[in-house]
């Protein structure tokens, strides 16, 4: 293979167990999974990169683009391995981080405890100062008090300081001045200001986000510095980008300044992967479902863009319980994660109800059928007992699954007098219902509809369950892509260089101070452009998007409305109002409210054009595949046993059609085509399942 | 085989119903105007069968609402029989004796129609910030002063909102548009939930919820009874004295564990008082059962079956079973104490399972004043003291228990009303000493932004009677209500804060559990280092130098 003028691109995702690296050239994709090297994560990454370059016959100088995502920031928080961090705040509010919402996330559990704040109480200090909700100064900043606290922090060995004052989103002057004093008094110590990290109303979320940023900043900055230096030393002279939780890419410099924005970079890559499939197949409304061994992640992708959110929770005391973690107010791809995956363990609860997850058998000992000491029944065991997985073909035949062990494990959930098949069906149904329920509740929270979406399912366990989940949700099309195992790293290569900023400015639409709004948006735009332009590329090609978060005066939750990316004029008031009312009706029905509308927050995103996936034409089924053999499998929708056709995915070609019921088997997983569905192979070798009787290819 | 599959389908539908009411609760919070609902989550949503039995509730609900509504829906059915319901009907009331114990909680119940028949009912109950009258304080002398009473009425008939009722409502409240918006959000939430239930019935080809309801109720009832059967039999007594309005009130309970039920009788409890801290029986039952359920069967989903094995009674005319037209607006002050009372009984039967007494009563700060332009403002914000120490853990600091609500952010409260909260932080030395320390209360200081005078409708508890410890643990600190200038204030009733002064609230701490001598010295040192106890208290209470 010849050097190819820097057209090679590398995506690298450092996860908790594996580091996935993907190398794409204009003609091919190479991928590798290496073990994550905890002591120095860059080592595993560089090893993986070297292996792929060797495989492709390329040199570092041939690489034009490296995108990196990492769980380093997240793990530092989860394992409390961050820097020694202090909080400087308004006198009287040192406990905001500990009081939180003053509520219990579990109503009936009297033994619950919230996660400990990242900053212990002795390092949370208040100084006299006060700004009112409108931004007026009620009490001037006591600068001597800041200096005195800085001396105490130095004496206590503080490495990083979060500065968070009340209402600093409305007037940042005190925070900025305190930041200057700290920088002078504590050289070498990193300082995070809440007015820069998360300039939005609601002190607990803003303080918590700023504390997390300060907590991970020294570690992330030093890691990124090392990685950058080693890449340069190794002969790479291309740009290095970091994947943000929002699905955009940013430079090393910005990532080192706002590392809290990196926490969800891996899952964001998965969502971007799904979005690229949406673009290839022209799917306007998608439900992306990523089911791994322990969790399922759910994300809506509309018009090829994953939905985004402004709040995320990290370090949940009960991993899947809302409100049990530390809130972070950062731009993040909106997704829900529930404890449902192939390794999820089934049990009977105190009421004799069959429940599945969130406990997982993980990869060690793994499901009972792995024969590695696991004895508890898992979703994978149920899939095996139901005949959906070929015990001889799992992991390419490397691991012979033990059907007897799986069937025996079913005994532990004997909720009814029934054989292993029915119990396995129960496990499968309960876990599918849990995923379907999570989708429905998430849809309600997002004001999204479900029935009219295409379900794109990836991750090892998704193809086994996707058709049944689609049946439960009334969804008519399911897409099972390729390369699902390294989806996040592939997604990194589909993401645009982008940066997003939010600011609170609380005004009614009718009384909007257009001059102030225009000035603020122009400033935000300039700031975002500076970040994005640092990544190179054509400044004229940058796309700016503006969104306002509005509500009826007196409500507590805002909904997003699109705002034109130009200075607003008088004429825009009516348009903003109409856009709000339309969005409100779409979300909550035709209830008429005769109240003024107010805008609380403005969000602005500047993005370079994303690499455009090539659209794939729809393909009509050309050949009906004759199955190799048949297997008896119980179908949960009817409770009946059907003869399922057995087909190998490797042997399928674009245009092939497999009528349901069928099992399409590949190395890591099996796609269950229920009796209600039929599957067609598209030009990208994706499996496209549609309800039987509907014409495949109708979308083209 | 077919029975097993049928059973499985019922379990799937049970999971589905809980997610349906969860959706309804989400819709309420997103469309509500009252900060109590939108920011504090003071609401509940639930599904009932056609007999009015609670089948599923949103896990976000607060006990005073859910369990009260569980008792109240049968009153709706008595007034509006299923046979006369029509599609698009919605029914409403805020009658304290029928549902959640004060006029500020509005309940809306709606039929779920499927195939032209009533398949079940869906309801929500929300804390309405403004219901006219005196406002939410203990100062009313009868229900007539406390606000607008909405009897059991049709809120909407075949999809048409009752315009007369809405006009009366608007005329009786201070913020008519917001109140109307809130009421509309109740309808929207019930409709969203009903739609989901209908889809589920279609998917499973069911006529109605009754068969499913029977199954859920039977399963939950059996599970709860099985837990009770494992408990020791007998009767235990406890009494707890709290501040009351102007004189102390003693709450007495006897708790009897039988083979398949737990009976609580509040015989001997003090009589009702002329102030708005009286409790209706529904609300008394709601918090009593909640407290017991936390210890006896916390993991059984809440519904009619799970609630039925708990039988609660209080003498007619006592402060826990008050009769019309007594005032009840601040009934949470006493109702939220009931878990402490019954857990005191249960602790004798099951040593080591119940936490110590806590601050328990939410310190809801209801303020009223004038804006610079002369217009009035009313506002409320929630604060919680310390919870009781637990068998193996310290008590939760500044955390609501038994209430399930959240505190509003200070920045939201200050944006909604011209007040400044100058301080809101943990109160050192307020946690009751013990092997496990009680949770810390907090100190809150508030004034108007321009220093103008304002009023507080005080309804604070545990100022004279602190939360007691258990098993040798010491009491938490009592609450203190005062002005920054030093003047003491009453814990109950409407009072003025003069111009330029601030209201200072020191919230009670939770009681300790176990002997102080058994506390891990490392924990004492940590408390000291973190300023949770002072050096003096470490010496005095723990003998730590």
Domain boundary assignment for chain A: 8-77+222-262, 81-214, 265-339+431-492, 344-429, 498-607, 623-691
Q: Is B7 on the interface with A (CB under 8 A)?
A: yes
Architecture of the CATH domain A81-214: 3-Layer(aba) Sandwich (3.40)
Residues of A in contact with B355 (CB under 8 A): 110
Residue of A nearest to B175 (CA): A554
Per the CB < 8 A criterion, the answer to whether B20 and B209 are in contact is no
User: What CA–CA distance (Å, rounded) separates A557 from A550?
Assistant: 8
The beta-carbon neighbor of B449 closest among A121, A132, A203 is A132
Per the CB < 8 A criterion, the answer to whether B173 and B94 are in contact is no
State the best of A106, A107, A354, A435 to mutate against chain B, taking most chain B CBs within 10 Å: A107
For B541, list phi and psi in degrees, rounded to 5.
-85, -30
Question: Shortest CA distance to B403 belongs to which of B63, B80, B141, B76?
Answer: B63
Smallest Cα distance from A590 to chain B, Å: 9
A104 vs B401: CB contact, 8 Å cut-off?
Answer: yes
pLDDT of residue A696: 39
Taking the complete model, does pTM exceed 0.80, yes or no? yes
Per the CB < 8 A criterion, the answer to whether A325 and A315 are in contact is yes
Domains A81-214 and A265-339+431-492 share a fold: no
User: What CA–CA distance (Å, rounded) separates A478 from A462?
Assistant: 11
pLDDT of residue A1: 40
Residues of A in contact with B26 (CB under 8 A): 441, 444-445
A422 vs B4: CB contact, 8 Å cut-off?
Answer: yes
Residues of A in contact with B390 (CB under 8 A): 110-111
Strands, sheet with A124-127, edge to edge from the N-terminal-most edge strand: A124-127, A85-90, A160-164, A190-193
Tokens of B468: 């007691």
Q: Is B383 on the interface with A (CB under 8 A)?
A: yes
A444 vs B383: CB contact, 8 Å cut-off?
Answer: no
Strand A85-90 and strand A124-127: pairing?
parallel
Q: Between residues 23 and 42 of chain B, which touch chain A (CB distance below 8 Å)?
A: 23, 26-27, 29-33, 35, 37-39, 41
Question: Shortest CA distance to A435 belongs to which of A447, A425, A424, A443?
Answer: A443
Q: Is B505 on the interface with A (CB under 8 A)?
A: no
User: What CA–CA distance (Å, rounded) separates A289 from A467?
Assistant: 12
Based on the number of CB atoms within 10 Å of its own CB, is A655 exposed (0-12), middle (13-18) or buried (19 or more)?
middle
pLDDT of residue B113: 96
Q: Is residue A139 classed as helix, strand or coil in its secondary structure?
A: strand
Question: Shortest CA distance to B359 belongs to which of B308, B426, B281?
Answer: B426
B27 vs A167: CB contact, 8 Å cut-off?
Answer: no
Residues of B in contact with A204 (CB under 8 A): 409
Per the CB < 8 A criterion, the answer to whether A160 and A130 are in contact is no
State the best of A101, A446, A474 to mutate against chain B, taking most chain B CBs within 10 Å: A101
Strand A656-659 and strand A305-306: pairing?
unpaired
Q: Which residues of chain A have pLDDT under 70?
A: 1-5, 16-17, 317-320, 362-364, 395-396, 444-445, 447, 483-485, 535-537, 556, 588-593, 617-619, 693-700
The ranges assigned to domains in chain B are: 2-220, 355-545
Give the torsion sign (CA, A191, A192, A195, A196).
positive
CATH class of A265-339+431-492: alpha beta
User: What CA–CA distance (Å, rounded) separates B505 from B491?
Assistant: 10
Per the CB < 8 A criterion, the answer to whether A301 and A335 are in contact is no
The beta-carbon neighbor of A589 closest among B188, B223, B299 is B188
pLDDT of residue B236: 98
Residues of B in contact with A422 (CB under 8 A): 1, 4-5, 8
Q: Which residues of chain B have pLDDT under 70?
A: 1-5, 60-61
B223 vs A350: CB contact, 8 Å cut-off?
Answer: yes
A444 vs B184: CB contact, 8 Å cut-off?
Answer: no
Tokens of B41: 């989550």
pLDDT of residue B402: 94
B415 vs A133: CB contact, 8 Å cut-off?
Answer: yes
Q: Is B218 on the interface with A (CB under 8 A)?
A: no
pLDDT of residue B308: 95
The beta-carbon neighbor of A103 closest among B1, B299, B405 is B405
Question: Shortest CA distance to A277 belongs to which of A452, A477, A9?
Answer: A477
Tokens of A425: 């069906």
pLDDT of residue A351: 73
State the best of B358, B417, B425 to mutate against chain A, taking most chain A CBs within 10 Å: B425
Report how far apart, in Å, the C-alpha atoms of B231 and of each of B113, B291, B296, B297 are: 42, 16, 9, 11
pLDDT of residue A3: 43
Q: Between residues 521 and 540 of chain B, which touch chain A (CB distance below 8 Å)?
A: 529-532
B404 vs A107: CB contact, 8 Å cut-off?
Answer: yes
Question: Shortest CA distance to A601 belongs to which of A322, A132, A198?
Answer: A198
Smallest Cα distance from A515 to chain B, Å: 22
Q: Is B295 on the interface with A (CB under 8 A)?
A: yes
CATH class of A8-77+222-262: alpha beta
B532 vs A110: CB contact, 8 Å cut-off?
Answer: no
pLDDT of residue A2: 43
Smallest Cα distance from B13 to chain A, Å: 9
pLDDT of residue B3: 63
Q: Is residue B442 classed as helix, strand or coil in its secondary structure?
A: strand
pLDDT of residue A157: 97
């Amino acid at each position: 293979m010849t050097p190819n003028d820097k057209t090679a691109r590398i995506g690298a995702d450092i996860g908790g167990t594996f580091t996935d690296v993907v190398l794409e050239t204009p003609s091919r994709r190479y991928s590798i999974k290496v073990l994550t090297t905890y002591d120095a994560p860059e080592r595993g990454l560089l090893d993986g990169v070297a292996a792929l370059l060797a495989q492709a016959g390329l040199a570092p100088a041939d690489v034009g683009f490296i995108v990196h995502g990492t769980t380093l920031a997240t793990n530092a928080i989860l394992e409390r391995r961050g820097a020694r961090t202090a909080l400087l705040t308004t006198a009287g509010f040192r406990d905001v981080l500990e009081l939180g919402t003053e509520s219990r996330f579990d109503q009936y559990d009297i033994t619950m405890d919230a996660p400990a704040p990242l900053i212990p109480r002795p390092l949370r200090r208040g100084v006299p100062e006060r700004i009112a909700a409108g931004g007026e100064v009620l009490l001037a900043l006591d600068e001597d008090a800041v200096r005195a606290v800085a001396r105490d922090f130095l004496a206590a060995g503080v490495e990083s300081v979060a500065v968070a004052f009340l209402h600093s989103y409305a007037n940042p002057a005190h925070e900025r001045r305190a930041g200057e004093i700290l920088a002078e008094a504590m050289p070498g110590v990193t300082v995070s200001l809440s007015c820069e990290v998360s300039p939005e109303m609601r002190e607990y979320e803003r303080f918590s986000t700023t504390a997390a940023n300060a907590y991970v900043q020294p570690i992330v900055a030093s890691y990124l510095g090392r990685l950058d230096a080693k890449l340069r030393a190794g002969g790479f002279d291309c740009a290095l980008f970091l994947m943000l939780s929002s699905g955009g890419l940013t430079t090393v410099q910005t990532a080192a300044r706002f590392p809290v924005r990196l926490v969800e970079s891996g899952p964001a890559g998965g969502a971007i992967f799904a979005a690229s499939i949406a673009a290839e197949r022209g799917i306007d409304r998608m439900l992306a479902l990523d089911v791994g061994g322990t969790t399922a992640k759910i994300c809506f992708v509309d018009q090829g863009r994953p939905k985004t959110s402004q709040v995320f929770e990290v370090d949940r005391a009960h991993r899947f319980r809302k409100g049990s973690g530390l809130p972070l107010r950062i731009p993040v791809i909106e997704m829900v994660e529930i404890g449902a995956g192939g390794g999820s363990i089934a049990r009977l609860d105190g009421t004799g109800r069959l429940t599945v997850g969130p406990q997982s058998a993980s990869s060690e000992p793994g499901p009972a059928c792995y024969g590695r000491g696991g004895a508890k029944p898992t979703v994978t065991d149920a899939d095996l007992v139901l005949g959906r997985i070929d015990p001889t073909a799992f992991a390419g035949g490397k691991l012979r699954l033990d059907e007897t062990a799986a069937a025996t494990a079913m005994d532990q959930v004997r909720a009814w007098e029934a054989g292993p098949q029915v119990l396995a069906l129960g496990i499968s149904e309960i876990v599918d219902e849990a995923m379907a329920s999570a989708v429905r509740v998430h849809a309600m929270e997002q004001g999204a509809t479900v029935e009219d979406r295409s379900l794109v399912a990836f991750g090892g366990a998704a193809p086994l369950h996707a058709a049944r989940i689609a049946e439960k949700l009334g969804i008519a099309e399911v897409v099972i892509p390729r390369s699902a195992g390294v989806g996040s790293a592939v997604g990194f290569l589909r993401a645009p260089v982008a940066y997003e900023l939010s600011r609170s400015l609380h005004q009614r639409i009718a009384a909007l101070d257009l001059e102030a709004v225009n000035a603020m948006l122009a400033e935000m735009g300039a700031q975002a452009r500076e970040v994005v332009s640092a990544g190179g590329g054509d400044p004229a090609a940058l796309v700016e998007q503006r969104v306002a978060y509005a509500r009826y005066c007196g409500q507590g939750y805002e909904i997003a409305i699109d705002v034109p990316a130009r200075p607003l004029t008088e004429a825009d008031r009516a348009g903003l109002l109409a856009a709000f009312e339309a969005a409100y009706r779409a979300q909550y029905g035709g209830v008429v409210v005769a109240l003024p509308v107010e805008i609380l927050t403005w969000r602005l995103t500047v993005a370079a054009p994303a690499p455009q996936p090539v659209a794939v034409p729809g393909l009509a089924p050309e050949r009906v595949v004759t199955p190799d053999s048949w297997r008896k499998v119980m179908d949960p929708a009817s409770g009946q046993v059907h003869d399922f056709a057995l087909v190998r995915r490797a042997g399928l070609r674009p245009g092939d059609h497999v009528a349901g019921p069928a099992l399409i088997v590949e190395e890591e997983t099996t796609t269950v085509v229920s009796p209600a569905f039929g599957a067609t192979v598209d030009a990208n070798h994706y499996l496209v399942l549609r309800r039987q009787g509907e014409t495949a290819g109708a979308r083209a | 085989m077919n029975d097993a599959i049928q059973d499985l389908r019922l379990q799937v539908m049970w999971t589905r119903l809980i997610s349906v009411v969860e959706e309804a609760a989400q819709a309420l919070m997103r469309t509500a105007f009252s900060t109590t609902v939108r920011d504090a989550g003071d609401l509940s949503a639930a599904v009932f069968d056609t007999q009015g039995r609670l089948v599923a509730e949103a896990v976000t609900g607060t006990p005073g609402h859910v369990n009260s509504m569980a008792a109240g829906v049968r009153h709706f059915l008595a007034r509006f029989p299923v046979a006369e319901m029509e599609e698009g009907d919605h029914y409403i009331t805020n009658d304290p004796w029928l549902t959640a114990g004060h006029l500020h909680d509005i309940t809306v119940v709606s039929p779920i129609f499927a195939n032209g028949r009533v398949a079940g009912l869906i309801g929500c109950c929300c804390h309405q910030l403004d219901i006219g009258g005196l406002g939410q304080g203990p100062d009313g002398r009868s229900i007539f002063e406390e606000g607008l009473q909405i009897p059991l009425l049709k809120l909407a008939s075949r999809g048409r909102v009752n315009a007369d009722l809405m006009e009366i409502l608007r005329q009786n409240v201070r913020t008519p548009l917001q109140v109307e918006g809130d009421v509309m959000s109740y309808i929207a939430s019930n409709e969203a939930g009903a739609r989901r239930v209908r889809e589920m019935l279609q998917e499973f080809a069911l006529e109605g919820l009754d068969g499913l309801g029977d199954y859920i109720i039977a399963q939950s009832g059996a599970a709860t009874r099985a837990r009770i059967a494992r408990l020791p039999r007998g009767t235990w007594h406890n009494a707890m004295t709290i501040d009351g309005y102007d004189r102390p009130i003693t709450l007495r309970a006897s708790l009897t564990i039988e083979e398949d039920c737990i009976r609580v009788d509040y015989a001997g409890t003090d009589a009702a008082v002329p102030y708005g801290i009286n409790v209706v029986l529904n609300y008394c039952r709601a918090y009593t059962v909640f407290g017991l359920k936390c210890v006896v069967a916390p993991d059984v989903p809440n519904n009619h079956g799970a609630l039925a094995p708990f039988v609660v009674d209080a003498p007619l005319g006592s402060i826990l079973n008050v009769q019309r037209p007594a005032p009840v607006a601040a009934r949470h002050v006493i109702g939220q104490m009931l878990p402490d009372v019954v857990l005191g009984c249960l602790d004798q039967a099951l040593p080591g399972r119940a936490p110590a007494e806590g601050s328990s009563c939410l310190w809801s700060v209801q303020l009223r004043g004038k804006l610079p332009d002369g217009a009035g403002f009313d506002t409320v914000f929630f604060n919680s003291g310390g919870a009781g120490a637990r068998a193996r853990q310290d008590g939760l600091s500044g955390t609501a228990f038994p209430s399930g609500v959240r505190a509003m952010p200070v920045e939201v409260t200050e944006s909604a009303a011209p007040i400044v909260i100058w301080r809101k932080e943990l109160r050192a030395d307020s946690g009751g000493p013990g092997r496990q320390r009680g949770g810390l209360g907090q100190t809150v200081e508030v004034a108007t932004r321009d220093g103008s005078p304002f009023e507080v409708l005080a309804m604070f508890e545990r100022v004279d009677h602190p939360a007691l410890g258990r098993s040798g643990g010491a009491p938490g600190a009592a609450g203190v209500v005062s002005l920054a200038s030093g003047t003491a204030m009453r814990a109950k009733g409407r009072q003025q804060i003069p111009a330029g002064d601030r209201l200072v609230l020191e919230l009670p701490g939770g009681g300790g559990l176990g002997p102080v001598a058994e506390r891990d010295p490392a924990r004492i040192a940590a408390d000291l280092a973190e300023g949770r106890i002072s050096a003096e208290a470490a010496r005095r209470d723990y003998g730590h130098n």
